[in-house]
Amino acid sequence: MSSTPEQPERWPDDDFVPTEELARRQGVKPIKSVDDLAAAEDPFESDEEYEAFLADLYASRRVGLA
């Protein structure tokens, strides 16, 4: 018995999905105004989660700069 999760035998050669298709599959629609964006639910559950997201984002942008 292995603790390693099963992996697919082979990934598809072209697993690219256009943005429009991803949006259609997820049922998302573009915002119509800034007011719609302001009324949207906060994607972060806490300030700590938001700060962790930003720290990871900034670190990923610095990769390869040194």
The alpha carbon torsion through 8, 22, 18, 30 (nearest 10 deg) reads -160
In a domain, 50, yes or no: yes
DSSP code of residue 43: S
- Tell me if 35 is assigned to some domain: yes
Residue 4 lies in a domain: no
- What domain range is 31 assigned to? 19-62
Residues in the chain: 66
| Overall number of domains in the chain | 1
Q: Is residue 11 part of a domain?
A: no
Percent of the chain scoring above 70 in pLDDT = 79
Say if pTM beats, i.e. exceeds, 0.85. Answer: no
**For 36-48, how does the pLDDT look when each residue is reduced to its tens digit (9 = 90+)?**
878 878 888 899 9
Residues 4-59 pLDDT 10s: 556 556 656 678 889 999 999 999 888 888 888 788 788 888 999 999 999 999 99
Residue 38 falls inside a structural domain: yes
